[in-house]
Every structure is written in structure tokens, then in C-alpha cells.
């Protein structure tokens, strides 16, 4: 057999850090241990029944058995605009300010090729969602990091960033509620972001994947609620977390018309939009009853409270999550994030995600997923407590 070399673009792709962790987790399970996996980021609840029913009924429509319009059905874009007006009081033109995505991850990966050229500079939060790096590699971009530190509430500190760096930056990624730190962003931070973007002509992409998941009665802010935001950037949103539709692969980008047009043009050459029945069910999810979303947020908040109350009892001090379905906690003294993961897996049979997998700024932290019921989360912490790492 002839071996054909991969392209340079594929060779630039980063190694999947968490693949090795999956192997180690599966090895522990294969030995018969009762493993509690808090390292995952996959919603554990089913899609609400009324949305599933919408898909089942729409799938019988012969219209949807043909190719969908390249840029998606107008009814879904109109539903998205209605949703943003209702939830955030943001006015969106469905014809020019919305692009439908195959899950928001697609938009995050393709934006580099849509807006930048080889060698251009992009700013990424550190720690941050690892799949951002895939898009940077494919587009051959120069990546510079923006440290997210606890002392600055896990927000980038623009004042500490040198002018030459901001001068050469053409794209900036933000993500609040944040994966992995679970921090949220206040209005004044987004206002400062718009000023920085205007001054240095930086395109902003705000990843709003966890936009529905805010705790203690505080609703996460959309970047687009900020005056001038649509002048400098876009926001991506997904139905994966809000409606437990991760496997449906439905997301969208909103905002600056020139960026949206670039995304639409790029996707014209890759896709013929989503299956029409999925688009119809998605529109009904956005426009229909939202009790399921409120119940989901309450479920995650109950889980958060159970986990952090248990952590406090064993001396594992951390700031409870502000949003998302994650928690961000320091490792015990004497450990790195990876060695802490390995020790806890080996001794307590609990899986944690090492913070270093999200960037150098994640060292000395672990991420946990609030994707098990309270009793299981409490049990995980109690197992770790028996190791006396935080006495």
C-alpha cells in the first residue's frame, strides 16, 4: 500500500490532550472499579420531549427530504432573532446578521480561515477551550495568549497587554460563562473590550455556548448587549447546552454583517445547511415554552451547591461556579494538575480534567463537570476527602 502524507495543515493540528485521559479512565473501568467521571463536558440530560416530537413530525415533511437552502431556512434565522430580542433585548437582522452553524464549534474553528490570512495574529484566553487551537492551526495563524488569573476574576487584563501585541492582533476569542474556569463577565468588561477592539481594529468572537447557565439568579450577559459590539465582532451560540441538543449539532453566529457574510460564503462551499426538520425543531425550541431551560439551570445549580458544599467540608477551598456546568478548583499541594488527576483516579477512582489541558494558565487546577446527580457528586468529593489531601 502506498502511504500518502497528510497535508501541512493537518500536521499542524494540536495533539488531543484528553485522548490519553480517556484511555486511562477506560483502563480503570476495565479493571472493575466504580469510576465517577467528572472530567467530561457532555450534557447528561435528554432533549426535552416537545423538541423531539417536533423533529419526529417535521421529518415526515417531503420538503425537508430535499437539499436545504445553502444558508438555512429563513424561519430559523427569524426565530433566532426573536430569541435574542426576548432573552437579551438585542435587535438582530435575520437576513444579514445571522449565520447558522453545524454546532457552534464549527464557527469557532472556521472563523480563522474566514477572516484572517496565514501568519496573522489571534488572541486566545489561557486557559481556554482547546478546540480553538484547531482553527488556528488549520489557518496557520500566530497565537498569542491572554492570561486568565484568579486575582482578575479570570478576565483578560487589557491594561497589561503591550501595544505592539494589540497592534498586530486581528482576532480575539472570549468565552463567558467560561470554560474551564466557570467565571462570568460583567458589563464593564465587555464595554472595555469594545473600546480595545475599536482602538486596535480587532475582530472579537465571543463564544456564548453556556449563555443560559448562570447561577444565584444572575443571567449571563451577551456580548451583543454592549453598545458598539456589533461594530467590532460576533457572538456564537449553541442549542447543545441550553436545550440538551448536543448531538443535534445546531448553533449560530450573530453580529457584524461583514463577518457573518464571510462565514456564510465559506459555508456555501462546504455545506448545504442542516436537515430541514432539525431546523424546524430548533426554531420551536427557541420560540416554545422555556420551562425546560429554567428547570435545567436549577438542576445544575443544585448540583453545584452539593459539590462545593462537600468540597468545603474536606478543606478543598474554591470559588463556586458562577456559570456553565463546570467547576474550577486548585489541586492539592505538591501536585501538578496531571499528577493530581492520576493520583485521584488511582486512589479514589474519580476522574478530573487536568487544567493544563486547557493551556499553561490551567496548571495547578482541575476542572470538574456538574454532569452527575448531587449524590454522585458528593460521593466523589467524599472519596477524595478520604485521601486527606486537604487536611
pLDDT in tens, 32-49: 999 999 998 889 999 999
Q: Is the pLDDT of residue 135 over 90?
A: yes
CA pair distance 173, 235, nearest whole angstrom:
10
Confidence class of residue 371 from pLDDT cuts 50, 70 and 90? Answer: very high
165-192 exposure pattern, b = at least 16 Cβ within 10 A, e = fewer: ebeebbbbbbbbbbbbbbbbbeeebbeb
Contacts of 130 (CB under 8 A, 6+ apart): 14, 16, 17, 18, 357, 358, 359
Average pLDDT, the chain: 95
Query: Terminus-to-terminus CA distance in the chain, angstroms?
Result: 59
* pLDDT of 20: 80
Strands of the sheet containing 98-101, edge to edge, are 98-101, 251-255, 233-238, 203-207, 169-175, 121-126, 142-147
Q: What is the pLDDT of residue 272?
A: 86
Q: Give 152's pLDDT tier (boundaries 50, 70, 90).
A: very high
Neighbours of 17 (CB within 10 A): 16
Query: What are the residues whose beta carbons fall under 8 Å from the beta carbon of 105, sequence distance 6 or more?
Result: 131, 238, 251
Query: Strands 98-101 and 251-255, how do they pair?
Result: antiparallel
Report pTM: 0.95
In this predicted model, what pLDDT tens digit does every residue of 224-250 receive, in sequence order?
999 999 999 999 999 999 999 999 999
Residue 101, SS3 per DSSP: strand
Lowest mean pLDDT among 21-30, 125-134, 191-200: 21-30
Which is more confidently placed, 318 or 262? 262
The CATH number given to 49-287 is 3.40.640.10
Q: What phi, psi does 194 have (nearest 5°)? A: -60, -40
Q: Rounded mean pLDDT of 207-220?
A: 96
Stretch 93-102: mean pLDDT: 97
% of the chain exceeding 70 in pLDDT: 100
- Cα separation, 202 vs 194, in Å, equals 9
Angstrom CA distances, 301 to 41, 209, 295, 310, 329, stand at: 16, 17, 10, 14, 17
| Architecture in CATH of 8-46+291-385 | Alpha-Beta Complex (3.90)
Report how far residue 250's alpha carbon sits from residue 238's, in angstroms, rounded to the nearest whole number: 6
Residues of the chain with CATH 3.40.640.10: 49-287
Amino acid at each position: 500500500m502506498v502511504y500518502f502524507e497528510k497535508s501541512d495543515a493537518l500536521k499542524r493540528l494540536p495533539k488531543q490532550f484528553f485522548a490519553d485521559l480517556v484511555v486511562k479512565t477506560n483502563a480503570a473501568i476495565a479493571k472493575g472499579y466504580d469510576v465517577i467521571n467528572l472530567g467530561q463536558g457532555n450534557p447528561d440530560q435528554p432533549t426535552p420531549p416537545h423538541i423531539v416530537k417536533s423533529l419526529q413530525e417535521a421529518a415526515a415533511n417531503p420538503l425537508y427530504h430535499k437539499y436545504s437552502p445553502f444558508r438555512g431556512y429563513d424561519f430559523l434565522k427569524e426565530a433566532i432573532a426573536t430569541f435574542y430580542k426576548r432573552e437579551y433585548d438585542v435587535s438582530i437582522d435575520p437576513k444579514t446578521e445571522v449565520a447558522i452553524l453545524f454546532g457552534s464549534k464549527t464557527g469557532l474553528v472556521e472563523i480563522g480561515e474566514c477572516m484572517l490570512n496565514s501568519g496573522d495574529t489571534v488572541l486566545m484566553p489561557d486557559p481556554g477551550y482547546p478546540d480553538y487551537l484547531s482553527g488556528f492551526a488549520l489557518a496557520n495563524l500566530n497565537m498569542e495568549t491572554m492570561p486568565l488569573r484568579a486575582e482578575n476574576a479570570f478576565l483578560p487584563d487589557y491594561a497589561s497587554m503591550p501595544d505592539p501585541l494589540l497592534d498586530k492582533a486581528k482576532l480575539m476569542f472570549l468565552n463567558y460563562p467560561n470554560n474551564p474556569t466557570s467565571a462570568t463577565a460583567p458589563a464593564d468588561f465587555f464595554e472595555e473590550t469594545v473600546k480595545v477592539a475599536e482602538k486596535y481594529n480587532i475582530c472579537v468572537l465571543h463564544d456564548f455556548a453556556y449563555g443560559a447557565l448562570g447561577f444565584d439568579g444572575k443571567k449571563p450577559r451577551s456580548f451583543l448587549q454592549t453598545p458598539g459590539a456589533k461594530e467590532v465582532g460576533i457572538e456564537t451560540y449553541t442549542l447543545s447546552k441550553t436545550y440538551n441538543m448536543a448531538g443535534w449539532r445546531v448553533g449560530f453566529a450573530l453580529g457584524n454583517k461583514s463577518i457573518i457574510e464571510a462565514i456564510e460564503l465559506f459555508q456555501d462551499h462546504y455545506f448545504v445547511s442542516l436537515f430541514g426538520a432539525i431546523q424546524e425543531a430548533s426554531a420551536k425550541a427557541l420560540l416554545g415554552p422555556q420551562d425546560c431551560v429554567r428547570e435545567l439551570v436549577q438542576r445544575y445549580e443544585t448540583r453545584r451547591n452539593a459539590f462545593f458544599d462537600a468540597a468545603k467540608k474536606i478543606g478543598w477551598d474554591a470559588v463556586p461556579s458562577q456559570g456553565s456546568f463546570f467547576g474550577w478548583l486548585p489541586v492539592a499541594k505538591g501536585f501538578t494538575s496531571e499528577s493530581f488527576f492520576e493520583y485521584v483516579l488511582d486512589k479514589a477512582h474519580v476522574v478530573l480534567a487536568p487544567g493544563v489541558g486547557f493551556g499553561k494558565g490551567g496548571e495547578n487546577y482541575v476542572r470538574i463537570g456538574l454532569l452527575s446527580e448531587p449524590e454522585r457528586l458528593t460521593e466523589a468529593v467524599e472519596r477524595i476527602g478520604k485521601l486527606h489531601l486537604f487536611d
